[in-house]
Amino acid sequence: MAMALGVVLIPERASSRSADSSWQETSAEPVPAFHNSVPAGQLPATLSPSLFTDPVAQNAYSLAPRIKKILYQQPCYCHCDRSQGHGSLLDCFVSKHAAECGICEREDFYAYEQSHKGKTGAQIRAGIQRGDWQGVDITKYESPLPAK
């Protein structure tokens, strides 16, 4: 019975498309890697949305280059800093990682929406740390977005 209980308690993989609805920030869990400010030099390019067939991934990758400076300042709660050495949410979109990770996509959409409300990188980061990204309506991103 203990073995069965242990299997039930194993968390879903972070690479799943859905956001983990039971996620909460706890004081015992460290904040994943991020940068406090944007570097003076160029940021790396994000991957082209055309590399992906899934509309949600295409939309996430089409919005990412528009907010690279914001994404650079955000932690990613799929903990890819531990598993893949990422330094911020931007790294998820410089690689194919975000295309298979609902957490990365939702954090990207959250950051995009908040930046268009005039929020700063630090304010957006505070919202991500609170778990506000979980409230993103993903259905808005299931169809192709209009061009800029």
Answer yes or no: pTM beyond 0.85. no
End-to-end CA distance of the chain: 55
User: 63: which 2 tokens?
Assistant: 């919005």
Contact of 43 with 72, CB cutoff 8 Å: yes
Gap between the Cα atoms of 111 and 26, Å rounded? 21
Taking the C-alpha atoms of residue 70 and residue 93, their distance in angstroms, rounded to an integer, is 12
Interval 103-124: pLDDT, tens: 999 999 999 999 999 999 999 9
pLDDT (tens digit, 9 = 90+) per residue, 27-56? 467 899 999 998 889 999 999 999 999 999
In the chain, the largest separation of any two C-alpha atoms, in whole Å, equals 56
Count Cβ atoms below 10 Å from residue 58 Cβ, excluding itself.
Answer: 19
